[in-house]
Amino acid sequence: MKLHVLVEQDEEGFYVAEVPALPGCLSQGETREEALENIREAVEGWLEVMESN
């Protein structure tokens, strides 16, 4: 599955990652790479929760 991920740097220097196709699926990290690793985990969790509903 391929999903579009938006990554932006906030005013405090953290990177915030969001998956627009999955409402509420957000994560962050101190580096862009960390934010991308974290959003992968967030997507997995989001999909598990939706499957259980």
Residue 21 has a pLDDT of: 97
Give the integer Cα–Cα distance in Å for 12 and 9: 8
What's the pTM value of the predicted model, to 2 decimals?
0.90
Q: Which residue ranges in the chain fall short of pLDDT 70?
A: none
The residue ranges of every structural domain in the chain are: 6-52
Give the integer Cα–Cα distance in Å for 35 and 53: 27
